[in-house]
Amino acid sequence: MSTQNASLDFTATSIKTTTVRNAGFDALRACLTLLVVFHHCAITYGAIGGWYYHEVAPNKSLESVVLVLFCTVNQAFFMGLFFFLAGHYSSRSIDRKGPGRFIADRFLRLGVPLLVYGFLIGPATIALAQTGRGHSFAGTLVSLLRKGTFENGPMWFAQALLIFSIAAALWNIAFSRLVDHKMNRSAPKLIPSNQMLFVAALLTGMAALALRSKWPVGINVWGLQLGYFASYVVLYAAGCCTARSHWIERLPERQIRLWWRVALIALPVLPLVYFMGGYLHALRGRPLAIVYAFWEPFVAWGTILFLASVFQRRFETLVGVWQPLSRRAYAIYIVHPPVLVAVALAWRNVPAAPLLKFVITGSVACALCYLVAGLVLRLPKLASVL
């Protein structure tokens, strides 16, 4: 292919990806949202993690171990992938709207739902979960509202993304003052090499280790688990920096294969070290924390590239249920806590294996969230925000 033809191909791709929504990414975000529901459902029935309602405490049973592994692997990549996609679209949105309008839009679409969840939905979910312990829903809710309780719950993501968005907009303002806008447009566009991805994974692991020495996993600071934020910051920044090159939309096949193999090779390392720690005390504590910190980015990079590629190949357009599911994804994310807790409570006294309950409760909750989100989006004012 000649240089001129290659240039024309790149221009055509740029125009297409700038003006048309990426159906693959929309479908991917919808699936990630449903995965969030199942993630919290796993914690309900025996996995480790913070959640409103725990029906089965984590234990050494095979079912609990499976659910813990499920959540651990999810944690390595799924929220980071959300942040990467958010960064990818943030860069384009800032270019299109300008920093001021972009920030105003972020306050509307992230800040308003965060406040509604924090002061209303979150406390209502806490009160609902407390009914499982015999407490009054109305009494608990009134008490929480009177105290002005703010419960961000899963909306910590909106809180963090709002902070990241403001930082990205301010960076854009500062950068545009130093470099002429036209020069910025014609500047080389970042396409990460394998060496760059490797170094980024190492630095992310080091940063995670440093953060967790100050704020261990499970410790919240203003509702945020800062121990996980190394990868979140790196992936959001990567999404912003690679947006103009459309790298994630035109991933080299060899790069995908390489990093997917890396992820698959790395995947069993953490469980192996953890189980060996039951026999070798030297692998417990700090050594396991070090392995965990570096394990996450190497699993995340390959999984993110693989999923981005698969979904883009699979979805050129959204048809059937995929279109409404994609449109409802954000609303599903917001309403899923009370729905999931309610479904779990509805049959808590029914004896059944935790894994079976995990599958049934998660599936029913996803279906109900889909329906509730559809009703919410019928209200024009809410639809304009969500």
**pLDDT tens digit sequence for 232-243:** 999 999 999 999
Query: Average of pLDDT values for 120-149?
Result: 95
pLDDT band at 176 (very low <50, low <70, confident <90, very high): low
| pLDDT at 4 (0 to 100) | 35
Q: What share of the chain is helix, strand, coil (3-state, %, to 5)?
A: 80, 0, 20
**pLDDT tens digit sequence for 282-302:** 777 788 899 999 999 999 999
Task: Confirm whether 377 is domain-assigned.
Answer: yes
User: 49 in helix, strand or coil?
Assistant: coil
| pLDDT at 174 (0 to 100) | 83
199-203, 353-357, 379-383: the lowest-pLDDT one: 379-383
The CA distances from residue 378 to 107, 347, 382, in Å, are: 22, 30, 8
CA angle 245, 262, 34 (to 5 degrees): 70
122-136, 177-191, 313-327: the lowest-pLDDT one: 177-191
Helix pair 322-346, 23-44: axis angle to 10 deg: 10
| pLDDT at 280 (0 to 100) | 74
The CA distances from residue 209 to 33, 227, 232, 291, in Å, are: 28, 8, 14, 9
Query: Average of pLDDT values for 57-67?
Result: 93
Task: Confirm whether 35 is domain-assigned.
Answer: yes
Alpha-carbon span 75 to 167, nearest angstrom:
24
Task: Confirm whether 210 is domain-assigned.
Answer: no
**Closest CA relative to residue 121, chosen from 378, 383, 376:** 376
Which residues make Cβ contacts (< 8 Å) with residue 272, sequence separation at least 6?
none
Task: Confirm whether 376 is domain-assigned.
Answer: yes
- Dihedral, 178, 181, 184, 185 alpha carbons, nearest 10: 170
Residue of higher predicted confidence among 328 and 251: 328
The total of structural domains in the chain comes to: 1
Task: Confirm whether 43 is domain-assigned.
Answer: yes
Alpha-carbon span 123 to 292, nearest angstrom:
33
**In 297-322, which positions are buried (b, 16+ CB within 10 angstroms) versus exposed (e)?**
bbbbbbbbbbbbbebbeebeebeeeb
Alpha-carbon span 47 to 53, nearest angstrom:
12
**Structural tokens at position 20:** 């048309």
**Closest CA relative to residue 361, chosen from 384, 344, 382:** 344
Say yes or no to pLDDT of 180 above 50. Answer: no
Query: Average of pLDDT values for 117-142?
Result: 95
Task: Confirm whether 45 is domain-assigned.
Answer: yes
Task: Confirm whether 116 is domain-assigned.
Answer: no
CA-based end-to-end distance of the chain: 44
Say yes or no to pLDDT of 17 above 60. Answer: no
Residue of higher predicted confidence among 19 and 68: 68
Alpha-carbon span 79 to 65, nearest angstrom:
22
Query: Average of pLDDT values for 192-217?
Result: 95
Say yes or no to pLDDT of 14 above 70. Answer: no
Q: Which residues span the domain enclosing 37?
A: 31-60+331-386
| pLDDT at 261 (0 to 100) | 97
Pick the most confident of 268-277, 313-322, 358-367: 358-367
Which residues make Cβ contacts (< 8 Å) with residue 109, sequence separation at least 6?
385, 386
Residue 228 and residue 79 in contact, taking contact as beta carbons nearer than 8 Å = yes
**Closest CA relative to residue 202, chosen from 298, 288, 302, 273:** 298
Say yes or no to pLDDT of 312 above 70. Answer: yes
Burial class (CB in 10 A: 0-12, 13-18, 19+), 62: exposed
Q: How many residues does the chain have?
A: 386
Task: Confirm whether 126 is domain-assigned.
Answer: no
Name residue 221's beta-bridge partners: 224
**Closest CA relative to residue 173, chosen from 103, 256, 257, 245:** 103
Say yes or no to pLDDT of 181 above 90. Answer: no
Question: Which amino acid makes up residue 80?
Answer: G
| pLDDT at 310 (0 to 100) | 96
Residue 103, number of CB atoms within 10 A of its CB: 20
